[in-house]
Amino acid sequence: MKLLWAVYAVMWAGGTLVGGVSPETRWAAPLFLVVAGILTIAEHRVAWKSLAIAALLGVAFELAGVHTGLPFGRYVYTETLAPAVFGVPVVIAFAWLVLIDFVRGLTPSIAAGALLMTAADLVIDPLAAGPLHYWRWLDPGPYYGIPWLNFAGWMLASLVILALMPKTSRRMSWTGWSVILFFTILAIERRLWLPALIGAGIAIVSPVMLRNTQQA
């Protein structure tokens, strides 16, 4: 496990140094998400079966989004996160797993967790659909080219997934926290100031939320 953490740390640092974009290392983005997912499972915030449910539900929402435009709006994935099944990259399951575990470890409130998930998407999506080229929107919207429907869809999907997750001990997932920080740094490098500000807010507020929940 120490070796896996070392690999993750090198990829995390390397990604921030190159701005997360390097055509010669397209394999790095999927591998980064896979390693983050494995580390999240290893952290044992919740049982692995619960994490599997979160991942599968996240992919189900993605499949609906890609093929129907609901609940996120119309978008298509690029080859950056390949391989894909029915238009959805396999590694997207790990992305949902990491983020859901992160917010579920901070608060027992489903509504607060869904709001935190949506805030995380406000940070990640401008980069993922922009300079990182993970996907592209077919009907661009006002928030860095992202439609507002996407964030409503994230709120809905997060509410459903979190409602089906069991309660867990209040311990912050440092893997999930580091992913938020990773995209925050990329936002700063790209001068995407609003996503950077939101990301910094999540990174700072998360330990406070955890402490207040534990003291309650």
Residue 16 has what pLDDT? 80
> Could you tell me if residue 189 is inside a domain?
yes
Residue 20 has what pLDDT? 59
> Could you tell me if residue 39 is inside a domain?
no
> Could you tell me if residue 34 is inside a domain?
no
> Could you tell me if residue 135 is inside a domain?
yes
Q: Is 99 exposed, middle or buried (0-12, 13-18, 19+ CB in 10 A)?
A: buried
Residue 75 has what pLDDT? 98
Residues in contact with 16: Cβ distance below 8 Å, sequence separation at least 6, in sequence order: 182, 185, 186, 189
> Could you tell me if residue 94 is inside a domain?
yes
What predicted TM-score, i.e. pTM, was given to this entire model? 0.91
Residue 42 has what pLDDT? 85
Domain range enclosing 180: 44-215
> Could you tell me if residue 57 is inside a domain?
yes
Q: What is the pLDDT along the chain (216 residues), one digit of tens a residue?
A: 788 889 899 889 888 876 655 555 677 889 999 999 999 988 765 567 888 889 999 999 999 999 999 999 999 999 999 999 999 999 999 999 999 999 998 888 999 999 999 999 999 999 999 999 999 999 999 999 999 999 999 999 999 999 998 766 667 788 999 999 999 999 999 999 999 999 999 999 988 776 665 555
Q: How many domains does the chain have?
A: 1
Residue 66 has what pLDDT? 97
> Could you tell me if residue 201 is inside a domain?
yes
> Could you tell me if residue 9 is inside a domain?
no
Residue 162 has what pLDDT? 95
Residues in contact with 112: Cβ distance below 8 Å, sequence separation at least 6, in sequence order: 209
Residue 110 has what pLDDT? 95
Integer Cα distance of 12 and 27 in angstroms: 14
